[in-house]
Structure 1
Amino acid sequence: MSDYIGSDIIHPVAKQLDTYNAHDIDAFMQWWADDCQYYAFPDELLANGATEIRARHVTRFQEPDLCGLLLSRMVMDNMVIDHETVTRTFPNGVGELDVICIYLIEDGKIAKAWFKTGTPRLHKQPR
């Protein structure tokens, strides 16, 4: 049996999404453990530690259209699984992609995260 309460587990995930959408790198990084690991699902390590996660997101937060829309969330023990649609500025235009985000929470921070991304869909451009 876990000592965690569901809302306590959700809190760091919800706050990191809020700060992601605000493009606030300092507030965003508060929710990641110093030794966290960030993966492309299932096992491609993209960033090892908070310094590398910060570096990945500094550039991303410069995208003017960047926004994650939470579609659903589930919690089991100390894991949170989100389904989001993320709007991005791709090299060939603004679009979106579906993302499954899996977060392992330890001591009130994200200790590990895995991201499974779908195929980007470009928004239709006005003629």
Structure 2
Amino acid sequence: MTINGVSDVEFPVQKQLEAYNDRNIEAFMQWWADDCEYYEFPSRLLASGATEVRERHVARFSETNLSGKLIARISVGNMVVDQEVVTRTFPDGPGEIDVVAIYEIGNGKIEKAWFKMGTPRLHAAKTQ
């Protein structure tokens, strides 16, 4: 089944990415299950439950340059894998990072997610 050209398993992943890019925490959270789990790949639990996922993203959503650019997406069964380039402000300044995100979908929501991060690439400092 597809919704607006996106498979039903990919739909919550697409909608949460759109909300991420809009920095809209309410729209973002509606796609995460109440008992979701959020991991640094492969198995380091970073957030357990929607409340902790929300807490992780509230500060991040205040970054005015925050955006995730989808490079590729595949899905198999109830799993969706995204390759993205995320632009954000790191402790050392603005830059971008390669991300592989793996989502497990159930009942139209993200139940589990794993994130494999590359090495941040800082943007060159602007000279005046």
Question: What is the TM-score of this pair, normalised by structure 1?
Answer: 0.95
Are residues 1:91 and 2:91 paired?
yes
Counterpart in 2 of 1:38? 38
Q: State the alpha-carbon separation in 2 of the partners of residues 121 and 30 from structure 1.
A: 31
Task: State the one-letter code of the partner of 1:49.
Answer: G
Shift of 1:92: 1.6
Percent identical among aligned pairs is: 60
Q: State the alpha-carbon separation in 2 of the partners of residues 92 and 120 from structure 1.
A: 10
Q: Structure 1 residue runs of 4+, over 3 Å off?
A: none
In the alignment, structure 2 segments of 5+ residues that lack a partner are: none
Task: State the one-letter code of the partner of 1:51.
Answer: T
Task: State the one-letter code of the partner of 2:114.
Answer: W
Counterpart in 2 of 1:13? 13
RMSD: 1.1
Counterpart in 1 of 2:124? 124
Counterpart in 2 of 1:52? 52
Task: State the one-letter code of the partner of 2:27.
Answer: A
Shift of 1:71: 0.2
Shift of 1:91: 1.7
In the alignment, structure 1 segments of 5+ residues that lack a partner are: none
- Counting matched residue pairs gives 124
Question: What is the TM-score of this pair, normalised by structure 2?
Answer: 0.94
* Structure 1 residue matching 2:8: 3-state secondary structure: helix
21-30 or 6-15: bigger deviation: 6-15
Q: State the alpha-carbon separation in 2 of the partners of residues 72 and 83 from structure 1.
A: 5
Shift of 1:93: 1.1
